[in-house]
């Protein structure tokens, strides 16, 4: 079964607007990561937030993590047409030194010029 | 800066045929993994390796074999292809810390089994 569930499944906005995507998960995690996938391409790592962190920023990206609610959100501010892509959350779990990465189903973001 | 290289990019197989999907990375990463991506399912882990000679099963290992003879290469073998294996396959590698760190993905292999 999927560890991460993302919401919404699809999001359509205008350029300049903010985009918020949410991710919920079921078990305790080492960290949570967000990836981006352009159509037909491989995934690209965006940001990693550890289980003891609550918020992290990277450029126009802001990620929050609420371990009590087992949820995370990705905010993209001032979106651009080039941000059009699928966005996936991935949870790192497991007690080993290398863990295991489990992906959600993704949110398809469309930014209209 | 090749990163993770997958070959081939596209492949059509007949049911029952076997083939090997190639994956190579030039970042000296110990941790490598294979995922399949199906519509609406996200990525699911097939097999992973934490170093040369060490492999383990992921969430959906049936019908696939892996081996890891070198740090650089992590091939995925389909033993007897089935239509249910039609999917896009991604190979990834990670620096020390494995899945506790960021993963670097290849561009994928789109496989169709007819």
Mean pLDDT of A68-95: 95
pLDDT-derived band at A40, boundaries 50, 70, 90: confident
The residue behind tokens 């359509």 is A12
Distance (Å, whole) CA B20 – CA A98 = 26
Residue of A nearest to B10 (CA): A40
pLDDT-derived band at B2, boundaries 50, 70, 90: confident
B39: closest CA among A106, A101, A46? A106
Determine the distance in angstroms separating the CA of B79 from the nearest CA of chain A, rounded to an integer. 25
Q: Which two tokens stand for residue B20?
A: 């090997």
Query: How do strand B87-94 and strand B104-105 relate by DSSP bridges?
Result: antiparallel
Segment B3-40, tens digit of pLDDT: 999 999 999 999 999 999 999 999 999 999 999 999 87
Is the pLDDT at A1 greater than 70? The verdict is no
Are the beta carbons of B107 and A42 separated by less than 8 Å?
A: yes
Residue of B nearest to A38 (CA): B107
Segment A84-102, tens digit of pLDDT: 999 999 999 877 777 788 9
Q: A92 and chain B: CB distance < 8 Å anywhere?
A: yes
CB atoms within 10 A of CB B82: 14
pLDDT-derived band at B47, boundaries 50, 70, 90: very high
Residue % of chain B over a pLDDT of 90: 89
Who's near B23: CB < 8 A, 6+ residues apart?
A: B4, B5, B6, B32, B34, B73, B74, B75, B76, B91, B106
pLDDT at A3: 65
Mean pLDDT of B74-83: 97
pLDDT at B39: 83
């Amino acid at each position: 079964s999927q560890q991460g569930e993302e919401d919404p499944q699809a999001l359509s906005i205008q350029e300049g607007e903010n985009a918020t995507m949410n991710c919920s998960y079921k078990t305790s995690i080492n960290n949570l990561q967000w990836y981006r996938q352009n159509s037909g391409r491989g995934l690209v790592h965006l940001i990693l937030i550890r289980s003891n962190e609550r918020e992290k920023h990277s450029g126009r990206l802001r990620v929050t993590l609420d371990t009590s609610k087992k949820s995370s959100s990705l905010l993209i501010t001032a979106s651009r047409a080039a941000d059009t892509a699928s966005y996936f959350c991935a949870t790192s779990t497991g007690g080993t030194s290398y863990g295991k990465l489990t992906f959600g189903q993704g949110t398809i973001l469309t930014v209209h010029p | 800066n090749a990163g993770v290289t997958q070959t081939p990019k596209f492949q059509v197989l007949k049911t029952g045929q076997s083939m090997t999907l190639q994956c190579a990375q030039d970042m000296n990463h110990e941790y490598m993994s294979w995922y399949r991506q199906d519509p609406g399912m996200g990525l699911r882990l097939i097999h992973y390796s934490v170093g040369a000679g060490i492999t383990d099963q992921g969430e959906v290992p049936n019908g696939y074999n892996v081996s890891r003879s070198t740090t650089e290469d992590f091939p995925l073998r389909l033993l007897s292809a089935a239509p249910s294996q039609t999917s896009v396959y991604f190979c990834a590698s990670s620096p020390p810390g494995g899945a506790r760190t960021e993963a670097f993905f290849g561009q994928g292999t789109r496989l169709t089994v007819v």
